[in-house]
Chains A and B, each alone.
Chain A
Amino acid sequence: MKQLDISIAFFRSGILGYGGGPSSIPLVHKEVVDTFKWMDSDEFGDVLALANALPGPINTKMAGYIGYRVGGVVGMLNAILSSILPSIILLIVLLTTLNAYKDQPWVAGMTKAVVPVVGVMLGTLTWDFIKKSTKSTLGWKWTIVFVVASVILMELLNVHPAIIILGLLIGALVKKDKKKEEGKKERSSA
């Protein structure tokens, strides 16, 4: 029964969350804390902080860890598959079907019209990241420095983004702390 509960909890929170993993976190919270009472709100906050300290998709880290705590390795696999599998299958079926009619003019028209719309969504996301960055401890000045420097490195010098990100991560871990910074701690929204 416990495995079934895990499936239900992560299937529901996965299939109802629009806009990627971070937007389904409140849904996961509702299932885990309110519906199935596997942990209390404080513990959930701890797990979320943990997941945020690591890279990669947030939702599967949460699902994997909570599934593991509740039902061992089987629970972990169960939770991950329940949250991701339905949407992957839907996407593959949808796109494969569309690709089969690729040569039809109306399908070609559909795929063209969607490009600027996705452009707007990405533009909005870009602005969100800039705004969040200026409100963090970096502030306007350092955000602009980081942005300009990475545009130069990636677009003009063709440095792979992975190298820049790795460099920054190492820098962030090694750098000594100023007392000033501890006062205004970043509130992560994810």
Chain B
Amino acid sequence: MIYIQIFLALFIPGILGYGGGPSSIPLVENEVVDRYHWMTVNEFSEVLAMANTLPGPIATKMAGYIGYDQAGILGAVVGVFATVAPSLILMIGLLGLLMKYKESPQVKRLTIVVRPIIAVLLGVMTFDFFFSSYEGEGLWQTLFLGVVAYILMQKLKVHPAYVIAGSLVYGGLVLA
């Protein structure tokens, strides 16, 4: 049942991604690429790139597209619901309890202990992306694009959306 798979693939990252949408991205990749094989690493990076050039919350955009890609509009609805609903229901349902404990060290610790794991997942994903690009385009193109993108985004503070748009133009003309 595809809808149940979509629900599970996005429910797990939604309920475990501490620290907002971006920290659930590697968890989503883990489900979508490694477990269900709905996309290759390259396809996932394409979706992530496009999602990053567009404004708005990242987790729901990804969930909506992944659901739509697998099972149409209803798939998109299921994907977004799985991402949004569980934590929202918890928030409204546990309001009293949360109000009491939101400053407690235990609750604050939740985000802290999960952070290194998310870092590892992100690091693995980074490696996968570069390796896949190395296999496809070779060392020099990968290095060139990586270094230029790094300088533009980190040193010259160019907005990522422009850098991605620039790389699309470069790819369409040079790597075609």
Contact = CB atoms under 8 A, between A and B. Distances in A.
Interface of A: 14-22, 24, 46, 49-61, 64-65, 68, 76, 80, 83-84, 86-88, 90-92, 94-95, 98, 105-126, 129-130, 132-133, 136-138, 143, 146-147, 150-151, 154-155, 160-162, 164-166, 168-169, 171-173, 175, 177, 181-182, 185-186, 188, 190
Contact of B87 (A56, A76, A117): A56
A120 B109 contact: no
B86 to A, nearest CB: 7
A138 to B, nearest CB: 6
26 contacts: A14-B55, A18-B55, A21-B58, A24-B56, A50-B99, A53-B110, A54-B91, A56-B14, A57-B17, A58-B21, A61-B88, A87-B54, A88-B80, A90-B56, A91-B61, A95-B69, A112-B137, A113-B172, A117-B149, A120-B153, A133-B112, A146-B116, A155-B124, A161-B30, A162-B12, A188-B108
Nearest to B94: A54
A60 B168 CA distance: 30
Given A51-B91, A125-B22, A132 B115 contact: yes
Given A18-B160, A118-B129, A146-B113, 19 more contacts: A19-B22, A52-B102, A54-B91, A60-B59, A65-B88, A76-B92, A88-B61, A106-B176, A112-B133, A114-B46, A115-B42, A124-B153, A155-B124, A161-B27, A172-B109, A175-B109, A185-B108, A188-B111, A190-B19
A55 B164 contact: no
Given A88-B65, A110-B168, A121-B160, A150 B120 contact: yes
A137 B109 contact: yes
A87 B57 contact: yes
Interface in B129-163: 129-130, 132-133, 136-137, 141-142, 145-146, 149-150, 153-154, 159-161, 163
A116 B145 CA distance: 6
Chain B's interface size range is 35 or more
Contacts of A133: 112, 115-116, 119
Nearest to B89: A64
Closest 4 CB pairs of A and B: A113-B171, A87-B56, A56-B87, A88-B64
